[in-house]
Structure 1
Amino acid sequence: MTGQEQWLLRTDTTTYAVALGGDGRWAELAAWGPHGVEHGPSPMDRSQRTHFITPADAAPAEYIPYGLRPFTGADLVARQSGGDRGSWWRFTGATADGDRALRLDFTDEVLGLRTTLCYETVPGTDVILRWTELTCTGDRELRLERIDSAAVNVPAQGGARLTYLAGQWSQEFQLKQLELERGRFEMESTQGAAGHAYAPWLAVQDAAAPAEGATPTYGIALEWSGNWRISADAEPGGSVRVRAGRVPHEGAVRLAPGATLTTPRLACAFSADGLDGLARVWHRYERLLTGDRMNRPRKVLYNSWEATGFDVDAAAQLELAKAAADLGAELFVVDDGWFTGRHDDTGGLGDWEPDPAGFPDGFDRFVDEVRALGMDFGLWVEPEGISPRSKLYAEHPEWVYRLDGRPATLVRNQLLLDLGRTDVQDFVIATLDRLLGDHAISYLKWDMNRPPTERGRPGGPSGDDPEHLDLDAAHVAGYLRVLDHLRTAHPHVTVEGCAGGGARVEHATLARTDVVWPSDNTAPLDRLRIQYGYLHAHAPHTMSSWVTDAAGVFDPRPRSLAFRFVNSIAGVLGIGADIREWTPEQCAEATEWIDRYKDVRDVVHHGEVHLLGSPADPTCGIQYEEPGGGRLVVTAWSTGALDGAPLVPGRPARLRLRGLVPDVVYTDQDSGTRYSGAHLLHSGLPFAWTAGHDAELVVLVRQ
Structure 2
Amino acid sequence: MGTFTWGNDALALTFETPDDGPAAVAGLRTTDLDVCFDHRMPLTEILATGTGHWLANDRLVHTDIGRSLRYVSHQESVNGSVHRLDVTLAEAALGLTVTVHYELPQGVPMFRTWVTVANTGDPADAASPVLGADDTIVLESVTSLVSAFGAPSGKSADCDAWRLLECENEWLGEGRWHATPTSDLFPRLAQQMTGHNPRGAHSVVNTGTWSTGRHTPLALLESKTLGLAWLFQIEHNAAWRWEVGRDSEDGYLALAGPTNVDHDWVKRLAPGESFDTVPASATIAPDFDGAIANVTAYRRAMRLAKADNARPRVIFNDYMNTINGDPTTDKLLPLVKGAAESGAEIFCIDAGWYDDTGDWWPSVGEWMPSKKRFPGGITEVIDAIRGAGMIAGLWLEPEVIGVKSPMAKSLPETAFFHRYGRRVVEQERYLLDLRDPAARKHLDDTVDRLVNDYGVGYFKFDYNVSPDTGTDLNADSAGDGLLGHNRAYSAWVEGLHQRHPELIIENCSSGGMRMDFAQTSRFQVQSTSDQQDFRLYPAIAAAAPMLMTPEQAGNWAYPNANDNPEEFVFNLNTTFLGRFFLSGYINRMSAEQRELIVRAVEAYKRHVQPVIGSSVPFWPLGLPGWNDTVLALGLKAGDRSFVTVWSRDGEGGDVTLALPQLRGKSVETETLLPVGDGFVEWPVSWNADDGTATVSVPNGGGYISRTFEFREA
Q: TM-score, normalised by structure 1?
A: 0.85
Aligned partners of 2:566 and 2:704 also within 8 Å: yes
> Is the Cα–Cα contact under 8 Å of residues 523 and 549 in structure 1 kept in the other structure?
no
Instruction: Note if 1:426 corresponds to 2:441.
Output: yes
Q: Does the CA-based 8 Å contact 2:141-2:256 persist in structure 1?
A: no
Q: How does 1:194-343 map to 2 (within 5 A)?
A: 194-206=211-223, 209=224, 215-247=227-259, 249-274=263-288, 276-288=289-301, 289-293=303-307, 296-306=310-320, 307-341=322-356, 343=358
Matched, 1:5 2:5: no
SS at match of 1:371: helix
C-alpha separation in 2, matches of 1:134 and 1:328: 52
User: Equivalences for 1:23-102 in 2 at 5 Å?
Assistant: 23-35=19-31, 38=34, 43-46=36-39, 59-65=40-46, 70-71=54-55, 75=60, 88-97=68-77, 100-102=83-85
3-state secondary structure, aligned to 1:694:
strand
Report the equivalent of 1:132: 115
Cα deviation digits, residues 159-197 of structure 1 (max 9, x gap): 241111112111122112222332411112111241310
Amino acid corresponding to residue 298 of structure 2 in structure 1: Y
Which whole-Å deviations, capped at 9, do the CAs of 1:292-348 have from their partners, x for residues lacking one? 435552122111113112322111111111122222222111100000446224432
Q: CA deviation at 1:559?
A: 7.0
Alpha carbons of structure 1 residues 528 and 152: separation in structure 2 relative to 1, 3 Å? farther
Q: Which residue does the alignment assign to 1:350?
A: 365
Residue pair 1:287, 1:539 contacting (<8 A) in 2 also: yes
1:56 match: none
| Aligned CA distance change for structure 1 residues 455 and 273 (closer, same or farther; 3 Å) | closer
3-state DSSP of counterpart to 1:572: coil
Q: Contact 1:498–1:517 (CA<8 Å) still a contact in 2?
A: yes
Bigger mean CA offset, 660-669 vs 140-149: 660-669
The answer to whether residue 402 in structure 2 is matched with residue 402 in structure 1 is no
Report the number of matched residues: 654
2:268–2:476 CA contact under 8 A, matched in 1 = no
What residue number does 1:173 align with?
A: 175
State the match for 2:616 in structure 1.
608
1:594 aligned residue (586, 596, 601): 601
CA-to-aligned-CA distance 1:61-112 (integer Å, 9 cap, x gap): 3323456952266758999xxxxx9883322222245994432222122211
Contact 1:76 1:145 in 2 (8 A): no
Report the secondary structure of 1:365's partner residue: helix
Q: Is the 8 A contact 1:234 1:241 kept in 2?
A: no
1:359 aligns with 2:388: no
Aligned counterparts of 1:699 and 1:454: Cα–Cα separation in 2: 47
Residue 51 (structure 1) aligns with: none
What secondary structure, in the 3-state scheme, does the structure 2 residue paired with 1:321 have? helix
Query: How far, CA to CA, are the matches of 2:692 and 2:215 in structure 1?
Result: 37
- In the other structure, the counterpart of 1:122 is 105
Amino acid at match of 2:213: H
Q: CA deviation at 1:199?
A: 1.1
Could you say if the C-alpha distance between residues 660 and 86 of structure 1 is closer, same or farther in structure 2, counting changes exceeding 3 Å?
A: closer
Equivalent position to 1:497, from 485, 507, 519? 507
SS class of match (2:359): coil
1:401 partner amino acid:
F
The CA distance in 2 between the partners of 1:539 and 1:233, in whole Å, is 29
1:648-679 superposed Cα distances (whole Å, 9 cap, x missing partner): xxxx4332322126244435377999999853
Q: Distance in 2 between matches of 1:195 and 1:468?
A: 20
Q: Which amino acid aligns with 1:386?
A: I
Q: Could you tell me which amino acid in structure 2 is paired with residue 60 of structure 1?
A: M
- Runs of 4+ in structure 1 deviating by more than 6 angstroms, as ranges, are 76-79, 669-677
Q: Distance in 1 between matches of 2:689 and 2:335?
A: 43
The superposition leaves residues 432-458 of structure 1 with CA deviations (integer Å, 9 ceiling, x where unpaired) of 111111111111001111011584355
Q: Is the 8 A contact 2:670 2:709 kept in 1?
A: yes
Distance in 2, Cα, partners of 1:148 & 1:221:
13
> Residue type of the partner of 2:605?
K
Give the whole-Å Cα distance in 2 for the aligned partners of 1:136 and 1:74: 24
Please give the secondary structure, in 1, of the residue aligned with 2:114.
strand
Aligned partners of 2:15 and 2:24 also within 8 Å: yes
Give the C-alpha shift of residue 244 in structure 1: 2.9
Q: 164-173 or 7-16: which moved more?
A: 7-16
Taking the aligned partners of 2:247 and 2:560, their CA distance within structure 1 comes to: 46
CA distance in 1, matches of 2:66, 2:26: 26
Letter in 2 for 1:609: P
Question: Does the 8 A contact of 1:31 with 1:44 survive in 2?
Answer: yes
**Aligned pair in 2 of structure 1 residues 167, 32: CA closer, same or farther (>3 Å)?**
same
Q: 1:621 aligned to 619, 632, 635, which one?
A: 632
Q: How does 1:678-693 map to 2 (within 5 A)?
A: 679=688, 681-691=690-700
8 A contact 1:33–1:270 mirrored in 2: no
2:167 touches 2:177 (CA, 8 Å); kept in 1?
A: yes
Partner of 2:460: 445
**Which stretch shifts more, 306-315 or 579-588?**
579-588
CA distance in 1, matches of 2:352, 2:110: 42
CA displacement, residues 21-55 of structure 1 (integer Å, 9 cap, x when unaligned) = 5x4421223223544755xxx75325xxxxxxxxx
| Partner in structure 1 of residue 583 of structure 2 | 576
Residues 695, 134 of structure 1: CA spacing in aligned structure 2 closer, same or farther, 3 A cutoff? Answer: same
TM-score, normalised with respect to structure 2: 0.84
* Cα distance change, pair 73–17 in 1 and its aligned pair in 2 (3 A): farther
Contact kept, 8 Å, 2:458 with 2:503, in 1: the verdict is: yes
The answer as to 2:207 corresponding to 1:185 is: no
| Distance 1:111-1:374 versus aligned 2 partners, 3 A rule | same
Q: Name whichever of 566-575 and 172-181 sits farther off.
A: 172-181
Ranges in structure 1 where 5+ consecutive residues have no aligned partner:
47-58, 80-84, 459-463, 552-556, 647-651
Identity across the alignment (%): 22
Aligned partners of 1:186, 1:242: CA distance in 2, in Å?
A: 9
Shift of 1:352: 0.6
Contact 1:78 1:143 in 2 (8 A): no
